[in-house]
Amino acid sequence: MTTLFDLANKKCKPCEGGIQPLSQDDISIMIKQLDSWVQRDLTIGKTFEFKNYYQTMAFVNAVAWISHHEDHHPDLSVSYNKCHVEYSTHAIQGLSENDFICAAKVDALLKV
Q: Summarize pLDDT for 49-104 with one digit per residue, the tens.
A: 999 999 999 999 999 999 999 999 999 999 999 999 999 999 999 999 999 999 99
Q: Which domain holds residue 44?
A: 21-109
Please give the backbone phi and psi of residue 31, each rounded to the nearest 5 degrees, phi first: -70, -25
Number of domains observed in the structure of the chain: 1
- Structural domain contains residue 9: no
pLDDT of 1 above 50:
no
Query: Nearest CA to 42 among 1, 91, 8?
Result: 91
Report the predicted TM-score, pTM, of the whole model to 2 decimal places. 0.91
- Structural domain contains residue 6: no
Across the beta sheet with 38-40, the strand order is 38-40, 43-49, 82-87, 75-79
- Structural domain contains residue 29: yes
For the stretch 15-39, pLDDT in tens is 777 789 999 999 999 999 999 999 9
- Structural domain contains residue 54: yes
pLDDT of 5 above 70:
no
